[in-house]
C-alpha cells in the first residue's frame, strides 16, 4: 500500500516481456523481447507526467500495461493505493472507470460502423447495463451532447460516422469518449503525433483546459520533446525499456544530466536561426541494441560518448541528484546519492 495520499499512480519494477518462439507444430520459447524492463515511477494527483523517448523504447507498452490491456511479466501497478493485479474482475471493472486511455491513431481507434454519439456514449451504456451506473437513455444522450460541445464538436454531429470527420475531430471524439466515465487519470498515448502541427496545438490546448476543469491527472506519452515541454509538469526519459532520467520539466530542459537526454534535447529544432547555429548537436553513433539481448552493463553504453569501463560491467539505477531529479548514470554516482 502507498503511504502518500497525493500519489495517484505508483508503478513498481514493471516488466513486460514478449516471448520469442520457434517451431511450427511444437513451438518453444527461445528468448524474450524485453519491451519494458524494471520500470518504476509515480504520478501525483493533478500533474501531467510526460514519458519521452525514441520509437520502440517501451512507452506505449507501459501505458497498455497500466490500462490492463497488456499482461505484465513482473512488477506491481498501484492505483489509488490498490494493486490492480490483485483485484477481482468486478473490482477491476469498477477501477477502470477511473483511468481511461486516449489512443495515438484517431483513424483506427474508432469503430467505423458506429456514429459519433454512440462512440462517446458506449462506455456509459456498458456500465449502465451492468448496474454500476444509474443512468437512463435520456441522461446518457444529454451527457454525450455536453461532452461533444465541451470537446469542440457540435452535438448536431452525433449521427455522423467517423469517416465524415477530420483527423483532429476524430481525436476530439476519442477524448470525449475517455471523459464520459469521469476518470481521474488519462493515459494519453501520443495523442497528437498523427495530426497536423496546427491541429496539434488545438488538441493540446483542449487537453490543458480539460485538465483544469475536471481536475485530471495525465500520463502523457510522446516522442516530441516540444510537445512534452508545453504540456507536462514532470518528465521521465525512457531508453530501451528503462527510465534513465526523471525531473520536473523546467529542470530537465535547462539542466539535462543523462547523455541520452542531452542528445535528445540537442536534436530539438529552434525557431531562431541565430541561436540554432550556436547550438551544439550531439550525434549518437550506432544503432539501438535489440531488446531481446541479455547482457550486463548500462543499456546506453554502446552509444554513449562518455562510456566508462564500469558501464560495461554494471547497470546504473536511478539515483537522486537534486530535489526531484533522478538519473541512472555513473557520471553522477557518489556516496551522497541514494539508489532507488
Is 1 within a domain? no
Strands annotated E in the chain: 7-22, 28-44, 48-52, 74-79, 82-83, 99-102, 185-189, 217-222, 234-239, 242-248, 319-322, 325-327
Is 314 within a domain? yes
Number of folded domains that form the chain: 1
List, for residues 72-101, the tens digit of each pLDDT value.
999 999 999 999 999 999 999 999 999 999
Is 340 within a domain? no
Is 307 within a domain? yes
Is 154 within a domain? yes
Rounded to a whole number, what is the distance in angstroms from the first to the last CA of the chain?
Answer: 18
pTM: 0.90
Is 162 within a domain? yes
Question: Considering the chain, what is the average pLDDT of its residues?
Answer: 91
Residues 6+ apart with CB under 8 A from 155: 117, 144, 145, 146, 148, 149
Residues 6+ apart with CB under 8 A from 290: 33
List, for residues 182-221, the tens digit of each pLDDT value.
999 999 999 999 888 889 999 999 999 999 999 999 999 9
From residue 43, alpha-carbon distances to 55, 180, 338 in Å are 22, 22, 21
Percent of the chain exceeding pLDDT 90 equals 76
CATH number at residue 45: 3.40.50.300
* DSSP at 267: T
Is 244 within a domain? yes
Is 109 within a domain? yes
Domain containing 106 equals: 7-332
Amino acid at each position: 500500500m502507498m503511504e502518500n495520499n497525493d500519489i495517484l499512480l505508483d508503478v513498481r519494477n514493471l516488466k513486460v516481456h514478449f516471448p520469442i518462439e520457434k517451431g511450427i507444430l511444437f513451438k518453444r520459447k527461445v528468448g524474450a523481447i524485453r519491451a519494458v524492463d524494471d520500470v518504476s515511477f509515480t504520478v501525483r494527483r493533478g500533474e501531467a507526467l510526460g514519458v519521452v523517448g525514441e520509437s520502440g523504447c517501451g512507452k506505449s507498452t507501459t501505458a497498455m500495461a497500466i490500462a490492463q490491456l497488456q499482461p505484465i511479466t513482473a512488477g506491481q501497478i498501484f492505483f489509488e493505493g490498490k494493486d490492480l493485479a490483485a483485484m477481482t474482475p468486478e473490482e477491476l471493472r469498477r477501477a477502470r472507470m477511473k483511468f481511461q486511455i486516449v489512443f495515438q491513431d484517431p483513424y483506427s481507434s474508432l469503430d467505423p460502423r458506429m456514429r459519433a454519439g454512440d462512440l462517446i456514449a458506449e462506455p456509459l451504456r456498458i456500465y449502465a447495463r451492468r448496474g454500476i451506473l444509474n443512468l437512463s437513455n435520456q441522461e446518457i444522450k444529454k451527457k454525450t451532447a455536453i461532452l461533444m460541445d465541451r470537446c469542440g464538436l457540435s452535438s448536431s454531429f452525433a449521427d455522423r460516422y467517423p469517416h465524415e470527420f477530420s483527423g483532429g475531430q476524430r481525436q476530439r471524439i476519442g477524448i470525449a469518449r475517455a471523459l464520459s466515465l469521469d476518470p481521474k487519470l488519462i493515459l494519453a498515448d501520443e495523442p497528437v503525433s498523427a495530426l497536423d502541427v496546427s491541429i496539434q496545438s488545438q488538441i493540446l490546448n483542449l487537453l490543458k483546459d480539460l485538465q483544469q476543469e475536471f481536475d485530471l491527472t495525465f500520463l502523457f506519452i510522446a516522442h516530441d520533446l516540444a510537445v512534452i515541454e508545453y504540456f507536462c509538469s514532470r518528465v521521465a526519459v525512457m531508453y530501451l525499456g528503462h527510465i534513465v532520467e526523471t525531473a520536473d520539466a523546467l529542470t530537465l530542459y535547462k539542466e539535462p544530466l543523462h547523455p541520452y537526454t542531452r542528445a535528445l534535447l540537442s536534436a530539438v529544432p529552434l525557431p531562431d536561426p541565430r541561436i540554432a547555429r550556436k547550438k551544439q548537436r550531439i550525434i549518437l553513433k550506432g544503432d539501438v541494441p535489440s531488446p531481446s539481448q541479455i547482457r550486463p552493463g548500462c543499456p546506453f553504453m554502446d552509444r554513449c560518448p562518455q562510456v566508462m569501463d564500469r558501464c560495461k560491467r554494471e547497470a546504473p539505477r536511478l539515483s537522486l541528484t537534486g530535489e526531484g531529479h533522478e538519473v541512472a548514470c555513473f557520471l553522477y554516482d557518489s556516496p551522497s546519492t541514494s539508489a532507488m
